[in-house]
Structure 1
Amino acid sequence: MEAAAPTAADIAAESAAAEAVLKRLQLTITRKLDGLLQGDYLGLLPGPGSEAGESREYRPGDDVRRMDWPVTARTTVPHVRQTIADRELETWLCVDLSASLDFGTAKCEKRDLAIAAASAIGHLTVRGGNRVGAVVTNGETLTRLAARPGRNNAHGMLRRVALTPRAPAGGTAANAGYLADAIDALNRPPRRRGQAVVISDFLTDDIVQTEASDPSWERPLKKLAVRHDVLAIEIVDPRELSLPAVGVLTVVDPETGAVHEVSTDAKVRTAYAEAAASQREAIAGALRRAGAAHLRLSTDSDWLLDIVRFVAAQRRGRSRGTTR
């Protein structure tokens, strides 16, 4: 028997519940993290600006380093290139809510942790006229939410992220490159220098297969990091790293819907832990090669504390003249 379709009242109740959770989350994040990201935006340079603007005739006292030689050559009159001050930060979130994130054995599901991470980044960056937008994928569909300034717009965007429908079991298997497509959507159209945050477990078919050299999402992530400051937030669950000794365990692959029975003896648990460690190292290596900062959040840890520690480490690194 098919489940009844949700009514308007059910959708309204779910929306109200999500809004209440996000309001409480905003208050918690503001109190614990407010100010830690201020002044750390790559691309916000002091001075008159860094974005190219229109040209005008040279005047005594202008910086000769801004000479617009092509215009000068065409008009035979010295011209300088004006610049536009880049005073606002534009942050784009790529949120992966595919079937593999509908899993959790600790405090919450990975999906809930991904939404919480998106809320944290959104509430931290949407201030002073900054804009926040998002690209959300559930493995089947791709949704783009326009970047707009203001906390009310950010709150509405995060509510729409939280209400993204779950993909049916096995639906992601038909679109193995869904994460690469979502990341590549952040590259189109080209935007001025800003911040991009990719939130995912990065468990695509090509990273699972040991014979694959590079995951499909590595190339678009490299392209994204050429112009933007990229942060990759990896979502993990402790059961993805090790198995408990519980005898025969029935497991379901949320991406394909396949069901397997696994005997959790010592040999299997050891092999599983080694394979999981190798898989996570492959993900970390791909993120390093792409030039993205890497933050790992687990469903069994205090994710707010993990974000605080990460931001503090970033600040210390940049104060020593490094960017990662």
Structure 2
Amino acid sequence: MATPATTAATSAVSVRLDALIAQRLAARALVLAASRKVAADSSGIKTSRFRGRGVDYVESRAYQPGDDIRSMDWRVTARTGRPHTKVFQEERERSVLFVLDHNPSMQFGTRVRFKSVQAARAAALIAWSAVRGGDRVGAVGFGGGVTGEVRPAGGPRGALRCLRSFVEWDALARATQTASPLSEALERTRRLARPGSLVIVATDGFCADAAAQAPLTRLATHCDIKVLMLTDALELAAPPRGRYTFAIGGERRRFEFGDGAHDGAWVEAFRRRRATFVDAARKLGIAVLPVDTRDELARSLALLGLALAARRGAA
């Protein structure tokens, strides 16, 4: 029979369905706090539904200065001899699509829990928040032999489908321990994400490759992207003075810490591994939210909760 200590230890290194379901309570508080904040900030402002780049075609009308050229209706333009543009109706239910990194580097953590576990917990919290607000949720998993996809669906059933996949993908990744590049996941995400979707990429950034720039740019053109950058304390600062033994690629290697040069090189090595993705995201105006393995998620994801609530308030 598992003891509370054993259960807690297991929850720290592997994704458990009961822990993800428990995020539903935290999501309720997150939604309520964010909704109150948005209501206070927008007091006296009349909101209404608007037409924009969504997924439902409404009509074609004569081109007006400032219209997006990507919405040009070339068939009507050719038939009438005058430029026309397509008008789309904004979707009432937006899709929230999670892209979860399961590469070996995510199976790591020295404080409270693994990065992989914290990523799944964060996705679960946002998923419950999204379906509570009427949005649909889906997911794409990559790395560690994971190639699964969950098409967006609404309500508690939609959230539970994602949560069960998070658990299954985590178990497969821990058993497989193979790596996949970010570019591969973004290409799959681009095929699944509909225009106007919110795409949340949960990763430690180590999987970023040069080829990821192109699909990230194309995805950012039609979707709202947020990055949850998973970190652990040992990646942000060198360990205390002393000699340490690490298992690297099946080999055991010893490191000695305590001098400034070695400690600085340690931190810089982790920073460089993330820099490719962080720099690419920021150049595209994509928000990068740091999420530490120690974080209380309701607090660290408060800004994301505000973004979700603000979008609903404008719908």
- TM-score norm. by structure 2 comes to 0.74
> Cα offset for 1:99?
1.3
Alpha-carbon distance between aligned partners in 2 of 1:187 and 1:146, rounded to the nearest angstrom = 13
Q: Give 1:81 shift.
A: 5.6
Flag the 1:238–1:74 CA change in 2: closer, same or farther, 3 A: same
Change (3 A) 1:189 1:236: closer
Q: Deviations over 1:27-83 (max 9, x none)?
A: 1221134362779xxxx9833564462658xxxxx888599684376379xx99664
- Equivalent of 1:27 in 25, 28, 41: 25
Letter in 1 for 2:242: G
With 113-122 and 244-253 compared, the bigger mean Cα shift is at 244-253
For residue 291 of structure 1, what is the amino acid of its counterpart? Answer: G
Q: 1:244: how far off?
A: 1.6
Amino acid across the alignment from 2:21: K
Question: One-letter code of the match for 1:271?
Answer: A
Q: Secondary structure at the match of 1:180?
A: helix
After superposition, the Cα gap between the structure-2 partners of 1:45 and 1:262, relative to the gap in structure 1 and judged at 3 Å, is: farther
Q: Residue 88 in 1 paired to residue 100 in 2? A: no
Distance 1:166 1:237, change over 3 A: farther
1:162-201: CA deviation from partner (whole Å, max 9, x where unpaired)? 23224358842xx552x22112111115622221111010
> Which residue of structure 2 lines up, in the alignment, with residue 195 of structure 1?
198
- SS state at 2:205 partner: coil
Paired letter, 1:231: K
Cα distance, 1:162–1:311 mapped onto 2, change above 3 Å: same
Q: Given the alignment, which residue of 278, 287, 302 partners 2:281?
A: 287
CA distance 1:36–1:271, shift in 2 (3 Å): same
For residues 258 and 51 of structure 2, the distance between their equivalents in structure 1, rounded to whole angstroms, comes to 65
Which residues of 2 match residues 305-324 of structure 1 at below 5 A?
A: 305-309=299-303, 311=305
Distance across 1 between alignment mates of 2:252 and 2:176? 11
- Answer yes or no: is the 8 Å Cα contact 2:51–2:87 preserved in 1: no
Match of 2:7 in 1: none
Residue in structure 1 matching 2:295, options 283, 287, 301: 301
Q: Offset at 1:106?
A: 0.6
Deviation digits for residues 245-266 of structure 1 (CA, Å, limit 9, x no counterpart): 352211134xx44432212231
Give 3-state SS (helix, strand or coil) of 2:254's partner: strand
Name the structure 1 match of 2:240: 245
Q: Which residue number in structure 1 is paired with residue 269 of structure 2?
A: 275
How many Å apart are 1:235 and its aligned residue? 0.3
Residues 123, 25 of structure 1: CA spacing in aligned structure 2 closer, same or farther, 3 A cutoff? same
SS in 1 for 2:255: strand
Structure 1: distance between partners of 2:270 and 2:214: 23
Q: Which has the higher contact order (CA 8 A, sep 6+)?
A: 2
Deviation at residue 141 of structure 1 after TM alignment: 2.8
Alignment coverage as a number of residue pairs? 279
Q: TM-score normalised to the size of structure 1? A: 0.72
**Counterpart for residue 221 of structure 1:** 216
Structure 1 window deviating more from structure 2 (64-73 vs 290-299): it is 64-73
- 1:295 maps to a residue whose letter is L
The equivalent position to 1:182 in structure 2, one of 171, 180, 185, is 185
Which structure: larger Rg?
1
Task: Tell whether the 8 Å contact from 2:230 to 2:291 is kept in structure 1 after alignment.
Answer: yes
Give 5+ residue unaligned stretches, structure 2.
Answer: 1-10, 40-46
Q: How does 1:131-210 map to 2 (within 5 A)?
A: 131-164=136-169, 165-167=171-173, 171-172=177-178, 175-177=179-181, 179-189=182-192, 191-204=194-207
Deviations 1:4-33 (A, max 9, x none): xxxxxxxxxx9xx93322232111221134
Determine helix, strand or coil for the equivalent of 1:119.
helix
Name which of 100, 111, 136 aligns with 2:116. 111
After the TM superposition, which segments of 4 or more aligned residues of structure 1 sit over 6 Å from their partners? 66-69
In structure 1, stretches of 5+ residues that fail to align are 1-13, 57-61, 208-213, 319-324
Task: Please state whether the residue corresponding to 2:22 is helix, strand or coil.
Answer: helix
SS at match of 2:295: coil
Encode CA deviations 1:105-140: one digit per residue, 9 max, x unaligned: 111111110001111221122245421110012332
Q: Which structure has the highest helix share of the two? A: 2
- CA drift of 1:274 comes to 3.4
Letter in 2 for 1:187: R
